[in-house]
Amino acid sequence: MIKNLSFLRIALIIVFLMHSVPGIFNNGINDFGKLYLNNAGFAPFGLPLAWAVKLSHLALVFSLLTDKFLKVTSIITILILLVGIYMVHLPNGWFVVGGGRNGIEFNFILIFSLLSVNYPNAFSNLGK
């Protein structure tokens, strides 16, 4: 059941569905595992690791929809996003488009969106 921050949850569901489902059908996950992760030093585990990453995104979608295991799936996803920042995005700077290309800003906003869904009142006592 979607309780709080419904619009943010819906946006996250759409983003993580679109980040995982197409790769299942267009060979993207296989390419990510074999061509990127294996070459980045994860061989021979690149392909299973790529599938684990994308399946964890789908688990997050179901968690956002049902409010079950949300903290666990969010932590896993945040760790994946942090590794993505370190391995892929950080060398490209901040901007995804405009002032740069493929930077960290998208992962940054996803991380803080997941934190906001899990801790909606985290800073509610500030300013009181």
pLDDT single digits (tens) 71-112: 999 999 999 999 999 999 999 999 998 888 899 999 999 999
Q: What digits encode the pLDDT tens for the residues 20-57?
A: 999 999 999 999 999 999 999 999 999 999 999 999 99
- Cα–Cα separations (whole angstroms), residue 35 to 27, 39, 42, 48, 76: 11, 6, 11, 13, 23
Q: Which two tokens stand for residue 30?
A: 């296989």
Quote the pTM value.
0.90
